[in-house]
């Protein structure tokens, strides 16, 4: 391990010594601005933005990104016929680190986004409890709070059939990661007093679809949360304002948004979203239901589809990895179409059921190559290839695709999906 670390440090030193200045800003297609910069703004000249005072403070009461980043927005398909039951994707290839900004967090709605007055919103807790309760949002905020960083991922991220996406966002943009703040669901259930026969909690949202999912009591008494804030501010309407359920590591639709009801029962509800939807069709025609966990997955986000390597030489390969079963312990990268694999560096912090950023130093020789990554989590599970998944699950499977996604780099430097 020490040897790998020393080799990485040596590579970085060589990059700084041999090519760092010469490369300028034109490593990827997004670096073209450095090539087209006006000479009057370049050293040793004084740039125009130093010649007059800037925008006064207070002109933007709620902060916004730089206008030069206006292209970094959620990925909304132009093929959608309507936007009531639809989704938008996080632009993964444009982001650094592991935290997704609230304005770029992926969305999935089944009945549109309701406008809910928190003063009028209530959470009902009833069923197999000693004391049925009704909570206001302020009532829940009086409980001891907790903040934890976790990913959230749609179980249909992505599907199994072509055409596959062109960019990292197209492929697996239905995943994001945030710091969630709220109350332990276990604490609230203990306040009501669970009866011995309590085995499930049926959660219902206050949207027009009344999305309903059954949660096993073991998860409810483990790390489940009632969330009211995301990345330090109150939930946005698209993320369930003013209250949502959050189940770390479970498929995203189970973290019911706009939460209005928790019904404690002895059996699952077998709702639409866990029978006709969000079940896994097997080759023999039967369906596997209650496939809660999101398996280990990773993807290289730079360089990735839609980008371009403008020059040969040093390039950092970076991406994200995650697992619903716990921590990522290793990410391996291949730069020769899967013939060999090398360990990437994991950026701290490495947290349970959270996105983990990985980095791998690489020198591109200017020739065609295929790069890819695979994640290994703390259970020992290794991310499979798409062919391996299809061999087990068949062509009718739809959800829980955690396959390896390779990128093809052409001689021209153009990066495309190698499986497209």
Using one digit for the tens of pLDDT, what is the confidence trace for 298-333? Answer: 999 999 999 999 999 999 999 999 999 999 999 999
The pLDDT value given to residue 419: 93
The pLDDT value given to residue 25: 39
CA-to-CA distance for 113 and 123, rounded, in angstroms?
A: 18
Take residue 275 and report the two structure tokens written for it: 């029978």
Using one digit for the tens of pLDDT, what is the confidence trace for 173-229? Answer: 999 999 999 999 999 999 999 999 999 999 999 999 999 999 999 999 999 999 999
Stretches where the chain sits below pLDDT 50 are 1-12, 16-17, 19-34
- Name the burial class of residue 304, with classes exposed (0-12), middle (13-18) and buried (19+) by CB atoms within 10 angstroms of its CB: buried
- Per-position DSSP letters for 273-327, written without gaps between them: GGTTSS-EE-TTS-EE----BPPPEEEEEES-TT-B--SSEEEEEEEEEE-TTS-
The pLDDT value given to residue 239: 98
Site of tokens 């670096």: 31
Domains located in the chain, CATH noted: 102-288 (3.90.420.10), 297-417 (2.60.40.650)
The pLDDT value given to residue 55: 85
Reference 323, options 374, 390, 253; nearest CA is 374
For residue 233, the surrounding DSSP H or E stretch is strand 233-234
The pLDDT value given to residue 35: 53
CA-to-CA distance for 406 and 164, rounded, in angstroms?
A: 12
Take residue 73 and report the two structure tokens written for it: 């927005």
The pLDDT value given to residue 403: 96
The pLDDT value given to residue 15: 52
The pLDDT value given to residue 23: 41
């Amino acid at each position: 391990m020490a040897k790998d670390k020393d080799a990485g440090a040596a590579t970085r030193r060589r990059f700084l010594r041999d090519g760092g200045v010469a490369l300028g800003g034109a490593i990827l297609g997004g670096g073209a601005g450095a090539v087209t910069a006006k000479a009057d703004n370049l050293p040793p000249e004084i740039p125009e933005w130093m010649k007059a005072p800037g925008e006064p403070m207070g002109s933007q009461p709620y902060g916004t990104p730089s206008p030069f980043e206006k292209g970094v927005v959620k990925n909304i398909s132009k093929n959608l016929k309507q936007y009531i039951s639809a989704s938008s994707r996080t632009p993964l290839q444009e982001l650094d680190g592991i935290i997704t900004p609230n304005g770029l967090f992926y969305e999935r709605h089944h009945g549109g986004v309701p406008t809910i007055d928190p003063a009028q919103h209530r959470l009902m807790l009833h069923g197999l409890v000693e004391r049925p309760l009704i909570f206001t949002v302020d009532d829940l905020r009086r409980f001891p709070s907790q903040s934890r960083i976790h990913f959230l991922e749609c179980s249909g991220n992505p599907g199994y059939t072509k055409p596959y996406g062109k960019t990292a966002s197209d492929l697996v943009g239905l995943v994001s990661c945030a710091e969630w703040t709220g109350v332990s669901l276990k604490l609230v259930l203990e306040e009501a007093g669970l009866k011995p026969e309590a085995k499930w909690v049926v959660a219902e949202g206050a949207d027009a679809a009344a999305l309903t999912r059954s949660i096993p009591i073991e998860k409810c008494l483990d790390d489940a949360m009632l969330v009211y804030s995301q990345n330090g501010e109150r939930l946005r309407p698209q993320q369930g304002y003013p209250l949502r359920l959050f189940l770390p590591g479970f498929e995203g639709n189970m973290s019911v948004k706009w939460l209005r009801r928790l019904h404690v029962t002895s059996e699952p509800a077998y709702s639409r979203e866990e029978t006709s939807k969000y079940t896994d069709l097997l080759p023999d025609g039967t369906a596997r239901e209650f496939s809660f966990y999101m398996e280990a997955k990773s993807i290289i986000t730079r360089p990735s589809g839609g980008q371009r390597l403008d020059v040969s030489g040093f390039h950092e390969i970076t991406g994200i990895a995650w697992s619903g079963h716990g921590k990522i312990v290793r990410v391996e990268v291949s730069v020769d179409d899967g013939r060999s694999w090398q360990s990437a560096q994991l950026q701290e912090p490495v947290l349970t059921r959270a996105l983990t950023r990985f980095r791998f130093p690489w020198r591109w020789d200017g020739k065609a190559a295929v790069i890819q990554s695979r994640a290994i989590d703390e259970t020992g599970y290794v991310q499979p290839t798409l062919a391996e998944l299809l061999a087990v699950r068949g062509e009718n499977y739809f959800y829980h695709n955690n396959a390896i996604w390779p990128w093809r780099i052409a001689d021209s430097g153009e990066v495309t999906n190698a499986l497209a």
